[in-house]
Amino acid sequence: MMNKSGRKMVVVPCSGIGKPFGTVSREAAYNLVEDLRPDATRLVALSKLVLGDEEARATVAASPVITIDGCKMNCAAKMVRESGGTIAKEVAVQEIHRQHKELRPEGIAHLNPEGQQLARVLAEELVTEIDALDRTDCKEEGSHA
Amino acid sequence: MPEIPQKKVGIIACSGEEIAEGTVTRLAALKVLHEMRRGDTVTLCLPLFLAGGEGERTFARFYPTITVDGCRLRCAARATERYSAQPAESIVITEVAAELGIEGIANRRNLNESGRRAVDATAEIIAGFVDRLLEKKDLDQERDGESAQVGAQTTPGTCSCGSGIQVSNLEIDGKLTKVIALPILMEQFNMEGRPADQAVAIDLLAQARVYNKVPLESEPGWLAAIQQEYASYCCAKRGKS
């Protein structure tokens, strides 16, 4: 089943392996594409964009993209832009963490419950954005018809 | 001039978010880093080769790297080679699994039993490569010795990239400046018994220049700051001995 507008939004989390925030970004992406909006979203691996994989570049160029970054380097957002993609929503895990300081993520290979909760909160906030963008898409398609 | 001692091996996992094998690369790299070869390895986020900066690309000039890829696209190996240097070793999870008869790796979020077996097997392979690259003979003895040594030293700062490359924060011409690799260079010079004079500052700067951009007009400031930092380093070392 597809979303209302008929096109899936691409989600690109960062591949951060040095800090728990990177794992939160990955977990939030899985929350979105597997649990919350499986019909409206799909993942693209950041490593493919780093390499310049043509298929991955075409995918991010063809759909609105949500990037989730785990550190100030903003690798996911930078790589999507360099790959010709249009970012519909750019999120930094730290920003969400600032609003939910009680959810302190720990563990890189295995996130603690607080980290998992932070990922869930982030994903739920993105759901609102995704649904709003989906409605906009539908209206635009309707106005073209 | 001294060469930077080859003390660590860099592990670069593709971390491919789309497939379960990508999760295997990530967990295997972390297992080696945190459990099996702690102190001998550092990890590097692949995208930082492009999005990061000089610190990341410098990485492979310091350390031999092992890339770990989930699939035959070999994003980590190819990107490392393209943006930094040829990896010393490359592993592809689908090939490891095929060789070891591990079938049905699945569930990228929470790996199934096959995935967990692949993590363990891959971590063993990586650890073997690490030992070979570091030419470890009596591993336990050396690791114990290194741990004791590390514990006795102050912990220097590391590069913000998270790679573990040591940096010094120096005030140069009134600006706080990160000098990549200076701690390891000072360690080398100190081991050679070099005194904290101007000559050592010149030699340290020459080495530091390989890993840092040093504008010509800032050279006097760099020299003064490096000499002062090295003098402090030597004092601290003497105080501990």
Residue B42, C-beta contacts closer than 8 angstroms, at least 6 positions apart: B8, B9, B10, B11, B33, B63, B163, B164, B165
pLDDT tens digits for range B58-74? 666 667 889 999 999 99
- On the question of pLDDT at A39 being above 60, the answer is yes
Q: Judge if pTM exceeds 0.80.
A: no
Q: Do B13 and A17 touch (CB under 8 A)?
A: yes
- Tell me: the pLDDT tens digits for B16-48? 999 999 999 999 999 999 999 998 898 888 888
Interface residues from chain B to A (CB-CB < 8 Å)? 13-19, 22, 26-27, 29-31, 34, 43-52, 73, 75-76, 78-79, 82, 108-109, 161-163
Q: Which of A69-73, B142-146, B159-163 has the highest mean pLDDT?
A: A69-73
Label each residue of B101-132 as H, E or C. Answer: CCCCCCCCCCCCHHHHHHHHHHHHHHHHHHHH
Per the CB < 8 Å rule, is A14 touching B109?
no
pLDDT, position B107: 96
For residue A7, give the nearest of A106, A138, A128, A113 by alpha carbon: A138
Q: By C-alpha distance, which of B24, B168, B9 is closest to B95? A: B24
- Contact predicate B177/B202, CB 8 Å: no
Q: How far, in Å, CA of B14 to CA of A144, rounded?
A: 41
Tens digit of each residue's pLDDT (9 = 90 or more) over A53-80: 999 999 999 999 999 999 988 999 999 9
Percent of chain B with pLDDT over 70: 78
Q: What are the backbone angles phi and psi of residue B66, rounded to the nearest 5°?
A: -120, 120
What is the set of domains in chain A, with CATH numbers? Answer: 9-99+112-132 (3.40.50)
Q: Give the minimum alpha-carbon distance from B71 to chain A in angstroms, rounded to a whole number.
A: 11
Strand partners, A121: none
pLDDT at B143 over 70: no
pLDDT of residue B140: 44
Predicted local distance difference test score (pLDDT) of residue A143: 54
Contact B76 A47 (CB under 8 A): yes
Indicate the SS3 state at residue A109: coil
Q: What pLDDT score does B165 carry?
A: 61
pLDDT at residue number B213: 76
Give residue B62's pLDDT.
66
For residue range B110-123, what is the model confidence (pLDDT) as tens digits?
999 999 999 999 99
**Could you give the domains of chain B?**
9-147 (3.40.50), 165-240 (no CATH)
pLDDT of residue A129: 85
Residues of B in contact with A53 (CB under 8 A): 73, 75
pLDDT of residue B187: 86
Shortest distance between the Cα of A52 and any Cα of chain B, in A, equals 9
A27, A118 Cβ separation under 8 angstroms: no
Is residue B150 predicted with pLDDT exceeding 70? no
In the predicted model, what is the mean pLDDT of residues A27-54? 95
Q: Does residue A103 sit in helix, strand or coil?
A: coil
For the stretch A83-132, pLDDT in tens is: 999 999 999 999 999 999 999 999 999 999 999 999 999 999 999 888 88
| Interchain CB distance below 8 Å, B50 and A75 | yes
- Which of helix, strand or coil describes residue B170? strand
Pairwise pLDDT comparison (B178 vs A114), residue with the higher score: A114
DSSP for B135-153, written as a single string: T-SSHHHHHHHHHHHHHHS
B94-115: pLDDT as tens digits = 999 999 999 999 999 999 999 9
| pLDDT at residue B209, as a whole number | 77
